[in-house]
Amino acid sequence: MTPAAIIFDFDGVIADSEVRANLSLAESLTAVGMPTTYDESLRDYYGHNWQETQRRIEARFGRPLPADFRERHRERARARFMEGFDAVPGAAAFLDTLGAMPRAIASSSRAEYIGWALGLFGLGHHFGEHVYSADGWDRGKPHPDIYLAAAKGLGVDPAKCLAVEDSPTGARSALAAGMTVVGFCGAGHIVDRAAHGAMLREVGVHRLAFTFEEISIAG
- Across the range 7-24, mean pLDDT stands at 94
18-81 has which CATH code? 1.10.150
Residue 101 pLDDT exceeds 90: yes
Cα–Cα distance for residue pair 139/142, rounded to 1 Å: 8
Fold annotation for 5-17+85-214: Rossmann fold (3.40.50)
- CA dist 11 → 49, 50, 64 (Å): 11, 13, 26
Cα–Cα distance for residue pair 150/54, rounded to 1 Å: 24
Chain segment 165-177, per-residue pLDDT in tens = 999 999 999 999 9
Looking at residue 188, its pLDDT comes to 87
Chain segment 185-209, per-residue pLDDT in tens = 999 899 899 999 999 999 999 999 9
The contacts found for 65-68 with CB under 8 angstroms, 24 or more apart, are 65/32, 65/34, 66/32
Chain segment 66-95, per-residue pLDDT in tens = 999 999 999 999 888 888 889 999 999 999
Looking at residue 113, its pLDDT comes to 92
Looking at residue 78, its pLDDT comes to 87
From first CA to last CA, the distance across the chain in angstroms is 5
Residue 219 pLDDT exceeds 60: no
Looking at residue 134, its pLDDT comes to 95
Looking at residue 123, its pLDDT comes to 97
Residue 18 pLDDT exceeds 70: yes
Looking at residue 83, its pLDDT comes to 84
- Across the range 47-63, mean pLDDT stands at 95
Enumerate the domain spans of the chain: 5-17+85-214, 18-81
Instruction: State the pTM of this model.
Output: 0.90
- Across the range 29-43, mean pLDDT stands at 96
Residue 4 pLDDT exceeds 60: yes
Looking at residue 214, its pLDDT comes to 96
Looking at residue 218, its pLDDT comes to 64
| Mean pLDDT, rounded, of the chain | 95
